[in-house]
A and B are shown apart, each in its own frame.
Chain A
């Protein structure tokens, strides 16, 4: 399966979510002069060169210095600006973690942190450039929400939400073109999972760029076995939509979580923790990157290797239903 080719015939192909982010922010910045971009030599990868040309007074470059990137963003937010600090997810959430924890979250400076080329988007560039820890570390920090939009629609909505938020927000974005997902609920609501497919036999809870392969697997299960799956785009990792989890658990069918993140501390563990504490005993499997030296490859090769793919999730779904 190739992520940049649509196999699902009824889906319309979009562009990379991080391009949508840049375009959306550019539109918002026209009428809101407080919106600012802070970059760490990352405006090119963030697709923000046009933003900088159009609004030279709304962009601050700090050079390759992520700690200062986040600290400066905190100061701008404290002064009433609406800064979006943009840097590869691997660097902003690791190198600058203490600035995120203290200067943004603890000091309650409502900056927006945008992790671009997230997960294994950088593919064969390897572990230094992968962010498989960002949900885990940010979930353990009070006063910051975590958004991982799946498609262009969710991305645009997430940027609008973040621009208006009076609390710190982290948005995680990938760089592959993504298809528009069909929308059962036809809306984006912060903190609420979005149903992109409805069914009562099996449940996929996915996030970010893994929602599409989960949906493809669900469609394959229907086509080959008549299995009807629910697929959730859990675009808000924190706060987690626990109400939705309670409702889904009541179906009494297997749940599979899917994420472009190490299984330790990610979406899957967040869901498992809630389900267990609420005594929802349903078959449950977490799909993500295991705690091991990550295999070399492109994003799609890494996805395929770890079963974050149409085929992998199809087989897993079939197996869980036959048990």
Chain B
């Protein structure tokens, strides 16, 4: 995939996120749009995975801790060939496997997440096992900023540094907003970089919508040998649709037909500019 195709892919995935949220009349719109560039880079440039051999023990692991942004994950997995995209027409419908959070019933999903503050501990276990078995695969997780106050994350941060898990990469989708409002008002996360560094992690800050900055940060081995890597991806909630950006009402808002058309035309314009 060329760089240009990768950029086009981000627009395509944003379009699909909105399409399936619109069809399901439910979904986590703002967060899925803020993290989709990260997933695009992971699944198209970083992860060593094979949709036809999804359980290969040597695959890289991606466990999405911020499970509610499942629309970003499902659209990415479908695009990578883990299942037919048309399956997503059943998203959140009665008896569908495609529920509103990641589930292993969907090919390519590693763990059932959705309750916050769970993904990182599971990754620590996966990363320890890989180290013990001398396996070279890497373990990635995507954390939301809203879930960082969960104490379990900080238990896991301590243990990842203690065991020097430099095969572990945590990416923070730092859009600085959560369901009630700004992180700064709900629970202040100031100095998150310093917090993680003091917990023994190597930290790098990138523009979470710059595909090539993300790729550079994620695809060149650990930031520091002997330390787990923490990538702060500065993002914008609702990124790509003007009226959704930084507007907390779109945390799990569903567009009206008019809003949907407007969003699609904005994405078309974005595509035309690439």
Q: With both chains docked as a complex, state the minimum distance between the C-beta of B105 and any C-beta of chain A, in angstroms.
A: 10
> Given contacts A75-B129, A107-B104, is CB(A68)–CB(B152) below 8 Å?
yes
A68 and B159: CB pair below 8 A?
Answer: yes
Knowing A57-B132, A60-B128, A74-B125 are in contact, say whether A68-B118 is a contact too (CB < 8 A): no
State A191–B253 Cα separation when bound (angstroms).
47
Instruction: List A contacts of B216 (CB < 8 A).
Output: none
Q: Mark B137-169, 1 if CB is under 8 A from A, else 0.
A: 000000000000001100110110011000000
**In the complex, what residues of A have CB within 8 A of residue B133's CB?**
79
Q: In the complex, what distance in Å separates the CA atom of A109 from the CA atom of B113?
A: 13
**Most interface-central of A67, A80, A106, A108 (chain B CB within 10 A):** A67
Among B57, B133, B159, B162, max chain A CB count under 10 A is at B159
B residues sitting closer than 8 Å to A (CB atoms) are: 57, 104, 110-115, 117-118, 120-130, 132-133, 151-152, 155-156, 158-159, 162-163
Q: Which of A71, A76, A108 contacts B152 (CB 8 A)?
A: A71
Which of A65, A75, A98 is the one whose CB lies under 8 Å from B126? Answer: A75
**Contacts A75-B129, A108-B104 given; does A102 touch B118 at CB 8 Å:** yes
A71 touching B112 in the complex, CB below 8 Å, given contacts A76-B128, A108-B104 = no
13 A–B contact pairs at CB < 8 A? A60-B163, A63-B155, A68-B156, A71-B152, A72-B159, A74-B121, A75-B124, A75-B125, A78-B126, A102-B112, A107-B111, A107-B112, A109-B111
Contact of B121 among A75, A80, A81, A83 (CB under 8 A): A75
Residues facing B in A224-259 (CB within 8 A) are: none
Q: Are B118 and A103 in contact (CB under 8 A)?
A: yes
CB < 8 Å A-B pair total: 98
B-chain residues with CB within 8 Å of residue A108 when the two chains form the complex: 104
Give the interface SS of chain B, mostly helix, strand, loop or mixed. helix
Known: A80-B129, A107-B122; 9 extra A-B contacts, CB below 8 A, are A65-B155, A67-B121, A72-B128, A73-B125, A78-B125, A83-B125, A102-B113, A102-B114, A107-B104
Q: With a CB–CB cut-off of 8 A, which chain A residues contact B123? A: 75
| Chain A interface mostly | helix
Q: Which residues between 45 and 95 of chain A lie within 8 Å of chain B, taking CB atoms? A: 57, 60, 62-63, 65, 67-68, 70-81, 83
CA distance A78 to B110 in the complex (A): 9
In this assembly, does A145 line the interface, its C-beta being within 8 Å of a C-beta of chain B? no
Q: Check B115–A71 contact: CB distance below 8 A.
A: no
Tell me which residues across on chain B come within 8 A of A63, comparing CB atoms.
155, 158-159, 162
Residues of A whose CB lies within 8 Å of any CB of B are 57, 60, 62-63, 65, 67-68, 70-81, 83, 98-99, 102-103, 106-109
Q: Which 3 A-B pairs have the closest CB atoms?
A: A75-B125, A71-B121, A79-B129
Closest Cβ of chain A to B169, distance in Å, is 15
Known A75-B123, A99-B121; contact A62-B155, beta-carbon cutoff 8 A: yes
Bound: A72/B128 CA distance, A: 9
Q: How far is the CA of A38 from the CA of B63 in the complex (A)?
A: 21
Asked, given contacts A103-B118, A107-B104, whether A65 binds B159 with beta carbons under 8 Å apart, the answer is: yes
Q: Is the CB of B118 within 8 A of A99?
A: yes
User: Once the chains are docked, how many angstroms separate the CA of A106 from the CA of B130?
Assistant: 23
